[in-house]
A = this chain, B = another copy of it.
Amino acid sequence: MSSIEEGNGRRPTMRDIARLAGVSVATVSRVINNRAGVAPETRDAVLEQLRAHHFTTNRGARGLSLGRTGFVGFTMPFIRADYFASILAGAVEAAYERDMRVALCATHSEHDREVSLLEQLMDGATDGAIILLPEETSDELDRLRARRYPFVVADPRLSLPPGIPAVSAAHRAGAKAATDHLLELGHRRIAHVSGPRGWVATEERIEGFNAALAAAGVLPSPELVLEGDFESPSGYAAGRALLDLRAPPTAVFASNDNMAFGALQAARERGLSVPDDLSVVGFDDADLATIVSPALTTVRQPLAELGRTSVSLLMRLIEGRRFEGLRVELAGRLVVRESTGPPRLR
């Protein structure tokens, strides 16, 4: 076939193509970028060479010229199948549609590592970044913003200073919907297994939980609110503790699915039937929620959408105007499955 790149392994450059087509690099560039002002025959000649030699434009070089890299950074504490992967998937999808790539970094929840990753992302390697569940303090985020590096916080862990763009889920509304559902079924002793205290997600979900109880005229009992860490074992432990109470709850609202699974397991161990003896509601709607038995009633978080929205917000930041205090909150919705039902009559 041709000889430029088949044999010697060197990718053809625009200059190669220009020489072969007997034109200048400027013309080749015009053809590649579909700019007007090139005679049809010239265009065809160039296109032919481009195709014959499998030319693709060197992103790095283009980035240098344009001051854009075509990369979006994405830092996350962990890469896992559940929550994180869903958000990531949405972000990758949205980036692809905009002809951007996603540069991935896992921080392992180490603060120093995340900070240094951000430094590295800013190395002109990316045009901006999405920081999922940031480990940074508000101060650090503020400083980052002062440096004019475009970034968006996805699902902030702690509450953020104003002026930092963030995308999060509607924790309060979701928690309220979950609790309302249990109340409507007739439950009155409803427990809550929360996430780590202090996190935005935790506090707002507790608020939603309490708001629902208050609206229904149910007095909250502190003994029914236990703190977990969003991992399954903590849900299991909380479940056991709750079932050991003199007056155990008839329903549990867990702040995420993982902990709900743990609670389910605790109930199963006691030989309790779900939902007859205990109703369980989760939060997230992880893949597992439908696979587990009984299938979990849960608040569906629009995780992929969260990723997508983060990218679209970020692109707006990158492309131009700055926004002050831009916040997006995405609504979830309750998905009722098999793990909730009316309390057993006593």
Contact = CB atoms under 8 A, between A and B. Distances in A.
Main secondary structure of the interface of A (DSSP, over half): mixed
Contacts of A147: 5-6, 9, 54
Interface centre among A9, A61, A84, A85 (most CB of B within 10 A): A85
Interface string A128-157: 000000000000000000111000000000
Contact of A81 (B69, B85, B119): B85
A71 B103 contact: yes
Given A11-B124, A85-B85, A102-B104, A265 B291 contact: yes
A106 interface: yes
B103 A56 contact: no
A336 to B, nearest CB: 19
A82 interface: yes
Interface of A: 5-6, 9, 11, 54, 56-61, 63-64, 69-71, 74, 78-86, 88-89, 92-93, 96, 101-106, 119-120, 122-125, 146-148, 232, 261, 265, 268, 286-288, 291-293
A60 B288 contact: no
User: Which 9 A-B residue pairs are closest in the complex by CB-CB distance?
Assistant: A81-B82, A58-B124, A9-B148, A79-B89, A59-B125, A59-B123, A81-B85, A60-B63, A85-B85
A61 B101 contact: no
Nearest to A68: B60
A105 B125 contact: no
A148 B123 CA distance: 28
A105 B79 contact: no
Contacts of A60: 60, 63-64, 69, 124-125
A9 B56 CA distance: 32
A74 B71 CA distance: 14
Nearest to A74: B104
